[in-house]
């Protein structure tokens, strides 16, 4: 399956910019906050798998 780890780079209104861990700017994605788990903030680490994001430590 498709898996990636991200961290929240910034939050702007109802959207967040995520950056893939271990990659540069070219991996940034812009996503609606409602698709992310509750409690997400800047620098939160996320794991993406099966079209679902979860917070990781």
pLDDT for 27 beyond 90: no
Nearest to 6 by CA among 43, 50, 38, 51: 43
Confidence of residue 49 (pLDDT cuts 50, 70, 90): very high
What are the tens digits of pLDDT across the range 28-45? 999 999 999 999 999 999
Q: What's the whole-number mean pLDDT along residues 9-35?
A: 92
User: What total number of domains does the chain contain?
Assistant: 1
Range of the domain at 52: 3-56
Domain with 37 in it: what CATH number? Answer: 2.40.50
pTM of structure: 0.88
Nearest to 49 by CA among 2, 13, 16: 2
Above pLDDT 90, what percent of the chain? 84
């Amino acid at each position: 399956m498709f898996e990636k780890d991200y961290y929240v780079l910034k939050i702007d209104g109802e959207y967040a910019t995520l950056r893939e861990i271990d990659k540069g700017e070219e991996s940034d994605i812009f996503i609606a906050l409602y698709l992310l788990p509750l409690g997400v903030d800047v620098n939160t680490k996320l794991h993406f798998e099966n079209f679902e994001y979860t917070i990781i430590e």
